[in-house]
Amino acid sequence: MLFRYFSCSVFLALVGTATITRAAESITPLPPTVRLRAEQGYHVQRRLEVTATPGVSLLSARWSGGTWFLSMLSSTKAPAYLQMTGIATSLQPGVYSGLLTLRSPVAAANNPQVIRVELEVTPKATRSPVSVFRDSLGVVRSAEPGLSFTSSGATQSSDPSASQASTGETFVVARSSANSIAANVYFPASRTWSNWQVSGGSIAGRPSVAAVSSMQAYVLARDSYGSYWMLPFSRNTGFGSWVFLGGTLATDPATAACPDGNFWVAGRDQYGNVWVRQYRPGSGPGNWIQVGSQLQGSPGLACGTDNAAYVAARDLSNVVSMIRFDGVSPSPAYAATGLTAATDPAVAITGHGVVFAVFTDAARAVWFRPFTEGTGNNWGQWMSAGGSIARFSSAAVRGLLFIAGADAYGNLSWYRSSPAAWTATPGAVAGGALSSAPR
């Protein structure tokens, strides 16, 4: 009897300690608000990565708010992508909103999730693709698809850079013969130039520019020590005062203006690290943030309709990667596998939620690949523009990609993604690097 009691006690003790637990399921939180931006008459895309624990299934997305929005899940089980499209084809300028609910019938944390979606519809822009370059004599000129080239009337010591406002004004900067900033504005509507203005100070290399409005731009330049500086430029008042941004970079600055009026700056240091910094007019620069490593060449930079920075760069194997940085934390470097680049990538934002990365291969053929704005690895398929191009730059207008390319002799041509074809610009001969806008 004593033995039986002892055995039972041992059995109950063992059962009591063998507690069976089940891991709690959860869905990774998505942004509580998604803001889309589209021109009147067009649409914009955004993609969010949906991740969850393995037990979460039967995911669904339900929309409430009007026929101007569409959503689609790539799978009912994570990992999946939530594709969102804001449709402004029949909307008047303004802000429209609704609620998107993501849910699973499985009990899980962060389930359901309700996302507020806002679509800002802006008036139709008057942008058009423009490329600027120096001819064999150093004179800065402009070229547009299907049109003859124009002259700015002055020589400069560096190749020019361009940035275009939403109303078409194209700000152009270069390094002057005195190693200062020379700035001008080209007006595509009248195909005329303003006057060159020259700043004080001393810079090295090739400056870049970000046009934040029809009247205001910001010039970025590198000094002889590798530090970056910013110089405001206004069509009304000319140059402002230099602002020190710091850093020790091995490349000339890349910069990109955003829809919210801010702009991004990016560069690579001598160790292969790419750094990004945001500048907010009125409040100043943010901190330098490292977004990539083991990269080479000069990074390409664009700002999406989501106001995030999209950085394209070559790794040490010449594979192009895309990195998204929203000001909080950088994404992984998403590699565009399948092709290797012989040149640094150029990037251009379509305004419809797509970023194009463009480069040439070892045979000088041009390739491009779309990347949908948003979180996750959103590469599309490789597409070939062909050609035999020695130098190129890219622009994008209303969903179309434009590539300005010069052959080995400097003869300039334009490529348009639809219909896909190259068109020569008679008489335009580029003596150096090209810069195109808008991008």
Instruction: With residue 8 as reference, give the H or E element that holds it.
Output: helix 2-17
Nearest residue to 170 (alpha-carbon basis) of 150, 193, 147, 153: 193
pLDDT in tens, 10-63: 333 333 444 443 458 999 999 999 999 998 999 999 999 999 999 999 999 999
| Average pLDDT, rounded, for the chain | 93
C-alpha span between 201 and 243 (Å, rounded): 11
Which residue in the block uniquely carries the two structure tokens 């889309």?
36
Query: Could you tell me what percentage of the chain is helix, strand and coil, using 3-state DSSP and rounding each to the nearest 5?
Result: 5, 50, 45
For residue 18, give the H/E element and its range: none
Reported as a single tens digit per residue, the pLDDT across 396-420 is 998 899 999 999 999 999 999 999 9
Q: Give phi and psi for 224, each to the nearest 5.
A: -70, -10
What is the Cα–Cα distance from 185 to 193, expressed in whole angstroms? 6
What gap in Å lies between CA 152 and CA 143, rounded to an integer?
A: 11
pLDDT tens readout for residues 148-160? 899 999 999 999 9
Instruction: Give the DSSP letter string of 265-309.
Output: EEEE-TTS-EEEEEEETTTEE---EEEE-SEEEEEEEEE-TTS-E
Q: Residues 180, 201: contact at Cβ < 8 Å?
A: yes
Radius of gyration of the chain, Cα coordinates, nearest whole angstrom: 26
Tell me the pLDDT band of 192, cut-offs 50, 70 and 90. very high
pLDDT surpassing 50 at residue 69:
yes
417 vs 184, 342, 399, 423, 428, CA distance in Å? 29, 21, 9, 12, 21
Average of per-residue pLDDT across 238-250: 96
Task: Tell me the Ramachandran region of residue 297: left when phi exceeds 0, alpha when psi lies from -120 to 50, beta otherwise.
Answer: left
Residue keyed to tokens 């959860």:
26
Of 9-13, 114-118, 243-247, minimum mean pLDDT range: 9-13
Share of the chain above pLDDT 70, in %: 95
Contact (CB, 8 A) for 187 and 169:
yes
386 half-sphere exposure, CB direction, 13 A CA radius? 8
Contact present, 164 and 437 (Cβ < 8 Å): yes
φ/ψ of 27, rounded to 5, equals: -110, 130
Statement: residue 241 has pLDDT above 70 = yes
Q: What whole-number distance in Å separates Cα of residue 100 and Cα of residue 439?
A: 31
Distance CA 254, CA 114 (A): 37
In tens, the pLDDT along 262-304 reads: 999 999 999 999 999 999 998 889 999 999 999 999 999 999 9
**Which residues, at least 6 apart from 261, have a Cβ–Cβ distance to it below 8 Å?**
212, 213, 281
pTM here is: 0.89
**Where do the domains of the chain lie, and which CATH numbers do they carry?**
33-122 (2.60.40.10), 130-437 (2.120.10.70)
Non-local CB neighbours of 14 within 8 Å, separated by 6+ positions: none
pLDDT the model gives residue 125: 78
Interatomic CA distance for residues 374 and 378, integer angstroms: 8
Average pLDDT over residues 71-100: 95
Q: Which is it for the CA torsion 145, 149, 151, 155, positive or negative?
A: positive
Task: Give the model's confidence band at 196: pLDDT under 50 very low, under 70 low, under 90 confident, else very high.
Answer: very high
The three-class DSSP label of residue 414 is: strand
- Name residue 175's beta-bridge partners: 181
